[in-house]
């Protein structure tokens, strides 16, 4: 079974938020990617398909968090998306929940965000391990067929 390095994508239109979160989480994951909006985030996901977890604001220019998670959902990508926002409301929460949002944390609750990101990484890691285990099992079954 192959072990993958966990990666985090931070999506926010405020550079100070990105830099602060990057400092906080760089010791928790092997690689931190950043994007200033949902369009940039999708480009990062296309270039780096091994993203383990996403932290995203909701209100951003070009493509907001709702549009981003809708596209991730439409692409059937099993990436936990955590919304870290100062613009959360019940209607937005219901909207992104339809597309599989992992959780919500209100800015500036950093301890809460750290806990949710740990759970998101664990959930993403579990899915990767299941996919790896399934691929390894299929390879072993193919080898057994060749022996017969």
Residue 31: phi and psi, rounded to 5, are -150, 135
In this prediction, residue 142 has a pLDDT band, given cuts at 50, 70 and 90, of: low
- What local confidence, expressed as pLDDT, does residue 144 receive? 52
d(CA 133, CA 135): 5
The answer to whether 105 and 57 are in contact (CB under 8 A) is no
Comparison of pLDDT for 98 and 124, the residue scoring more: 98
Q: Domains (ranges, CATH) in the chain?
A: 7-147 (3.40.50.2300)
- Per-residue pLDDT, averaged over 101-109, amounts to 89
Average pLDDT value over all residues in the chain: 83
pLDDT over 80 (residue 126): no
Going by C-alpha positions, the residue among 61, 10, 21 that lies closest to residue 37 is 61
- Per-residue pLDDT, averaged over 70-88, amounts to 89
- Per-residue pLDDT, averaged over 105-115, amounts to 90
């Amino acid at each position: 079974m192959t072990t993958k390095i966990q990666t985090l994508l931070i999506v926010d239109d405020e550079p100070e938020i990105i830099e602060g979160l990057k400092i906080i989480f760089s010791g928790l994951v092997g690689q931190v990617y950043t994007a200033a909006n949902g369009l940039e985030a999708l480009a990062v996901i296309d270039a780096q398909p091994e993203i383990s977890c996403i932290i995203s604001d909701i209100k951003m220019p070009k493509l907001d968090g709702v549009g981003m998670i809708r596209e991730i959902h439409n692409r059937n990508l099993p990436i936990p998306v955590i919304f870290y926002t100062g613009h959360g409301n019940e209607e937005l929460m219901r909207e992104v929940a339809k597309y599989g949002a992992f959780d919500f944390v209100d800015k500036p609750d950093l301890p809460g965000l750290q806990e949710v990101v740990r759970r998101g990484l664990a959930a993403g890691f579990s899915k990767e391990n299941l996919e790896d285990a399934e691929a390894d099992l299929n390879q072993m079954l193919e080898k057994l067929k060749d022996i017969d």
